[in-house]
Amino acid sequence: MNNLRLRDITYLKGVGPKRAELLAADLGIKSFYDLLYHFPSNYVDRSTVYTVKQLRGDMPACQLRGRFLSFTLKGEGAKSRLIGLFSDGTGLMEVVWFNRIKAIRQTYLTNNEYIIFGKPTEFNGRWSMAHPEIDLPGSKGAMQGLRGTYPLTDKLRNRGITSRTIFAWVQTALATATIIDDPLPPDVVARYRLMPLREALTAIHNPVNNDQLQRAKFRLKFEELLLLQLNIQRYTRRRRSMSGGFYFPRIGRFFNNFYSQCLPFELTGAQKRVIKEIRADMGSGRQMNRLLQGDVGSGKTMVALLCMLIALDNKTQACLMAPTEILATQHFETIAKAVALVGVNVKLLTGSTRKKDRDLIHQQLVDGSLHILVGTHALLEDNVRFNNLGFVVIDEQHRFGVAQRARLWNKNTTPPHVLVMTATPIPRTLAMTVYGDLDVSVIDELPPGRKPVETLLRYDNRRYDVYRGIGRQLAQGRQVYIVYPLIEENEKLALRSLEEGYELIKETFPNHRVAYVHGKMKPAEKDHQMMLFASHQADILVATTVIEVGVNIPNATTMVIENAERFGLSQLHQLRGRVGRGGDQSYCILMTRHNIAAETRRRLEIMTSTTDGFVVAEADLKMRGPGDLEGTMQSGIPFDLRLANLATDGQIVQLARDAASDILDTDPELTTAPNRRLSQAIAQSTARTIDWSRIS
Ligand code: ADP
Ligand code: MG
């Protein structure tokens, strides 16, 4: 039987029904395939034999070669232990056993030569090693190379199944499986110089050296990522072939007049590139679904506006939806001001739009005289009907779900092009995977002349230094944000610290006006307070994270973030993006308790060391894993990736993506002979799920 997935693990020599049941329950290992793809999570180096003299206290497990000089039993009852005095001629090692003493005593002899393998520890100048693995020199167990340690559960360990047991079973499985079918077509293996599958499986379980291990890993990661990409791209291609979209061949007077007469600045290279990408979509006749990522302040709004103008030039309407009333209003004002001279009719629709204005909007939408509608969720309501909606922009995507996007599409018989804009920087490789159904454009360049925000980490005990700094900014006519975390588990406490902070600020800066915003306020009050700050009737804004998204107040140059340790990196980055929006040097001060953990400190130091949102996001991803990325998991990754890491294996993701695309170009449904195994492998990979949380 060639198909390893169909070979039941029960029939592997040494396993049997009882252990098979355990393996299935705890590790999801049911077949030979599952066992061979249960990879070591770590490797210990057994390629070198060390001497006692070479040992250092911080060494991981290592092996020594020598003899036992004596065995001594110490202590009594539960406290008894066996100590073997081991010598390799360069020094002594006390080998300690706390259990299985009798068996050990019978097995090992003084004056025989052994290889012992374990973690050496030093105490008062004496070396010891507890419960080492012991082999005869030249025996199979003492083989060379790197030795894997396997993910296991406590239950398995208690039943005597160790890394060594798994290793032995893997060897048996490899020996028994005379044929291992490679799901990858031979030309792919050749083109990407991949290790053949059997060789890779053999090597990953027992690599001769690190180089071989890396090549084996590369091959197996590539396989995983190729299957994943094939699955996503096949789905995307199907969707595209089904949904026709608007064909926008023209660039006309709206775009041209605006571009030549009203554009307030030269576009950055990145903005131009992204507009080209979007234009290509609009000219393809297929519906566009594109994610536009750009760090805070990178100028996404102008890109959106220019694209909306192209839609107008092609006799359709456009709309822009923002997650909050404040943001919608800001977008409306920006756009209305920008297009004032080119005869574009723009209106704002939110929950608080008056009935009279609302009626006019409805009427103009239907008769086609309204060109661009900006608004909040209010745009989604059923009574908002367009004459011909051709282009939809959604700002700050993670607040809107996929279902809501679909409601906008459905406003037309021809689905409008959709541009989703987000400032949450998702590493590109992750975006390619998580937003499989979206194409991704990235603005990776800020407009010229921006000064990076200077970020400082300050402990509570230097609060008054920080306040003096704020005082200097205020004296220069600048404005300041002071942000408190929203603590969901204890809202009362959070509110109290916010209120206390507000009182303290008012006391400290008696000659300045202080606005105050939190999530529990009535929307009208919130807007009023925000307006005070935006119009510079207030100099300081004390707020919870409600200000996180989008607010644009270039005169605000300083942000103090209280209890910064409570925020995720991506969130800190978003917050920080509220300052540094004008020409002045801006500051972001992260305040924390004095006694934060070293790890927390390292996390916050990423913020002080870079202002690049992608670097922050990558770091966040590495530290927390993709599962925590806010809002990104809604589409879910249907595969469980055993080896590949979307955060760190970006290059392989890219290669696999290209390979998948080449394959599907010639064989979209993977039906030709060389690709049929790929198709099977995808079906089988998507079906499998494991509860990884139980594995340590
Ligand atoms: P975001 O991508 O965060 O939404 P915005 O679109 O709000 O950024 O742009 C931030 C600021 O940068 C705005 O004041 C905008 O006018 C300005 N801006 C955008 N593009 C450019 C450019 N190419 N050159 C100079 N300023 C620009
Ligand atoms: Mg924006």
Which of 298, 302, 422 most suits a substitution to test ligand 1, by most atoms within 8 Å of the C-beta?
A: 302
Q: Which of 303-312, 459-468, 535-544, 590-599 has the highest mean pLDDT?
A: 303-312
Any idea which fold 1-41+152-178 has? DNA polymerase; domain 1 (1.10.150)
Closest listed ligand to the CA of 293: 1
List residues, by chain if needed, whose CB lies under 5 Å from ion ligand 2.
Answer: 550
**CA 300 to ligand 2 centroid distance, Å:** 6
- The minimum-distance atom of ligand 1 relative to the CA of 266 is 23
Q: Is the CA virtual torsion 194, 196, 201, 206 positive or negative? A: negative
Residue 625: per-residue pLDDT: 55
The ligand 1 atom at the shortest distance from the C-alpha of residue 296 is 3
Average pLDDT of the residues in 240-246: 75
Phi-psi region of 265 (alpha: psi -120 to 50; beta: other; left: phi over 0): beta
Cα of 442 to ligand 2 centre, how many Å? 14
Structure tokens at 671: 């039906």
Tell me if 423 CB under 6 Å of ligand 1: yes
- Determine if ligand 1 sits within 6 Å of the CB of residue 265: yes
Q: How would you class 178 by CB atoms within 10 Å of its CB: exposed for 0-12, middle for 13-18, buried for 19 or more?
A: exposed
Mean of pLDDT values over 115-144: 83
Instruction: Name the class of domain 454-610.
Output: alpha beta
Maximum mean pLDDT: which of 51-55, 616-620, 680-684: 51-55
Helix (H) or strand (E) holding 210: helix 210-242
Lowest mean per-residue pLDDT among 162-166, 225-229, 377-381, 690-694: 690-694
48-143 and 1-41+152-178 share a CATH fold: no
CA distance 147 to 204: 10
Domain extent listing, the chain: 1-41+152-178, 48-143, 253-282+299-422, 454-610
Residue nearest to atom 10 of ligand 1 (CA): 297
294 Cβ inside 6 Å of ligand 1: yes
Determine the residue of 305, 552, 581 to mutate for testing ligand 1's pocket, defined as the one with the most ligand atoms within 8 A of the Cβ atom. 552
Q: Which of 184-188, 378-382, 650-654 has the highest mean pLDDT?
A: 184-188
Residue 406 has pLDDT above 70, yes or no: no
Pick the more confident residue, 571 or 674.
674
Determine the atom of ligand 1 nearest the C-alpha atom of 334. Answer: 16
The CB density around residue 26, as the number of other CB atoms within 10 Å, is: 20
Q: Strand, coil or helix: what is 487?
A: coil
pLDDT at 693 over 50: no
Cα 151 from Cα 476, distance rounded (Å): 59
What does the pLDDT read at residue 549?
54
**CATH code matching the domain that covers 253-282+299-422, chosen among 1.10.760.10, 3.60.110.10, 1.10.443.10, 3.40.50.300:** 3.40.50.300
Each residue of 320-373: pLDDT tens digit?
998 878 788 889 999 999 999 899 999 999 998 999 999 999 999 999 999 999
The pLDDT value recorded for residue 57 is 77
Which residue's CA is the nearest one to ligand 1's atom 1? 297
CA of 296 to the centre of ligand 1 (A): 9
Fold for the domain defined by 48-143: OB fold (Dihydrolipoamide Acetyltransferase, E2P) (2.40.50)
Atom index in ligand 1 nearest the CA of residue 267 equals 23
pLDDT at 562: 92
Mean pLDDT of 368-384: 92
Confidence of residue 410 (pLDDT cuts 50, 70, 90): low
